[in-house]
Amino acid sequence: MSEALQAVGRTRGMGELIDVEGKVTEIAPFGRTLAELAHERPEIVGLTADMGRYSDILPFRDAHPNRFFNVGMAEQNLIMIAAGMSKAGKIAYCTTYSVFITRRAYDFVSIACAHSMANVKIFAGMPGLVNGYGATHQATEDINMMRGIADLTIIDPCDATELKQVVRAVADIPGTVYVRSLRGKVPVELGSDYQFEVGKAKVIREGRDVGVISTGYMSARARDAADAAAGQGVDAAVLHVSTIKPFDKETVLSFAQRFDRLIVAENHKTTGGLATLVVEALYEAGIMKPLIKIGLADSFFECGSQEYLEAKYQVDLPHFMRAIVEGR
């Protein structure tokens, strides 16, 4: 049997993370937190474009049926309706897959929402390489696209702990927010003392030898890799950059200056995302250091199990280990 036909990994719920084995997880932290928050904030409404189940918003629907709207398979309309509701006084949380928000409804996010500082909070499902359905469902360039929209806040949470804080925080962040959401059984990776702050990068693991700058759930993988690498004599620190925009350049630069070599990791192409932001910031500050990018190539990606795809595209734990320990 050829490598391409080997049965590696199993099918999971659409867009669920694979880093769950042996870890504490929470079910549907987005929808459950939103349902709670909406009891306190009557101006919150929830919308989806036929992706209620696969975005985890159903707990909100069940708790607040009169404030939940499924607009059908019409992502442009989802964003227009959310913008209109916000302009009539609502905070509109809306959900579908990242690919459909970014590729199909871009003009509407930009003009109907961001330009008006509309109170629209987009929780975009399946960002990056978190499903095996191929390029149609893999939003591997969404950060690159959304960074181009002025006045848009972009957040890539690491885990259930942070996602729950983000659900609450965005209600008070002015304007439109794009969140790379996590669904299903979402691991609890960050300590109970972790506190999300919009626009602030946080060190989630200290170290002396290598500086890893990462975002999204790749920050948890970076920390796992760093823990494992410590047994091989390399002590890596991890800076988690959960807010992509506005970009916390100051913290990234001061972190980068502490290390002889750097790694940037993201669940996204290595072009146009975090790595590009970091390299731009370093170059402008005159900081030249060896830097390895862990992320996806500029390509479309095939179908397959998550384990198979992550190994094939070199974003799995062994590749993190190699980058940290061997510097390649």
Partner 1 sequence: MSTLNHPPENPDIRALKGRALSLRRKMLNMASGKGEGYIAQGLGMADCLAALYFHELRYDPADPRWQDRDRFLLSTGHYSIAMYAVLAEAGYLDETELPTYGLNGSRLPMSTFDDIPGVEIVGGSLGHGLGQAVGMAMALKVDGSPARVFCEFSDGELQEGSTWEAAMGAATFKCDNLVGLIDCNGIQADGPVTVKIDPVADKFTAFGWDTVEVNGNDMEALVSALANARKQDGRPKAIVMRTTPGFGVPTLMARERAHFVRVDNSEWDSLKAELEKENV
CA–CA gap between residue 26 and residue 162 (Å, rounded): 12
CB of 322 to partner 1, least distance (A): 47
**Considering only 65-73, 153-161, 192-200, 239-247, which stretch makes contact with partner 1 by CB under 8 A?**
65-73
Judged by CB, which is closer to partner 1: 78, or 126? 78
Judged by CB, which is closer to partner 1: 115, or 312? 115
CB of 49 to partner 1, least distance (A): 10
User: Which backbone phi and psi does 262 adopt, to 5 degrees?
Assistant: -130, 155
CB of 35 to partner 1, least distance (A): 17
CB of 96 to partner 1, least distance (A): 13
Give the footprint of partner 1 on residues 129-168 (CB under 8 A).
none
The string of DSSP codes covering 47-72 is: EESS-SGGGT-HHHHHH-GGGEEE--
Q: The tokens 């989802």 sit on which residue?
A: 78
Q: Is 54 a binder of partner 1 (CB under 8 A)?
A: no
Judged by CB, which is closer to partner 1: 114, or 154? 114
Judged by CB, which is closer to partner 1: 38, or 186? 38
Structural contact between residues 150 and 112, judged by C-beta atoms closer than 8 angstroms: no
CA–CA gap between residue 309 and residue 138 (Å, rounded): 12
Site string for partner 1, 67-96 (x = CB under 8 A): x-x-xx-x-xx-xxxxxxxxxxxx-x----
CB of 103 to partner 1, least distance (A): 15
CA–CA gap between residue 125 and residue 181 (Å, rounded): 5
Q: Is 111 a binder of partner 1 (CB under 8 A)?
A: yes
CA–CA gap between residue 27 and residue 185 (Å, rounded): 5
Judged by CB, which is closer to partner 1: 47, or 241? 47
**Considering only 63-71, 95-103, 211-219, 263-271, which stretch makes contact with partner 1 by CB under 8 A?**
63-71
CB of 106 to partner 1, least distance (A): 11
Residue at 76: amino acid letter: Q
Judged by CB, which is closer to partner 1: 83, or 143? 83
Q: Is 123 a binder of partner 1 (CB under 8 A)?
A: no
**Counting beta carbons within 10 angstroms of the beta carbon of residue 162, is it exposed (0 to 12), middle (13 to 18) or buried (19 or more)?**
buried
Beta bridge partners of 139: 127
Q: Is 115 a binder of partner 1 (CB under 8 A)?
A: yes
Judged by CB, which is closer to partner 1: 85, or 229? 85
Alpha carbon distances (Å) from 172 to 24, 198, 303: 29, 10, 38
> What is the distance, to the nearest Å, from the Cα of residue 129 to the centroid of all Cα atoms in its chain?
11
User: For partner 1, how many residues bind (rule: CB under 8 A)?
Assistant: 28
Beta bridge partners of 84: none
Residues 6+ apart with CB under 8 A from 106: 145, 149
Residue at 94: amino acid letter: C
CB of 81 to partner 1, least distance (A): 4
Structural contact between residues 156 and 115, judged by C-beta atoms closer than 8 angstroms: no
Beta bridge partners of 44: 91
CA–CA gap between residue 68 and residue 120 (Å, rounded): 14
Q: Is 100 a binder of partner 1 (CB under 8 A)?
A: no
CB of 90 to partner 1, least distance (A): 5
Which residues of this protein are in contact with partner 1, per CB under 8 A? 45, 66-67, 69, 71-72, 74, 76-77, 79-90, 92, 107-108, 111-112, 115-116
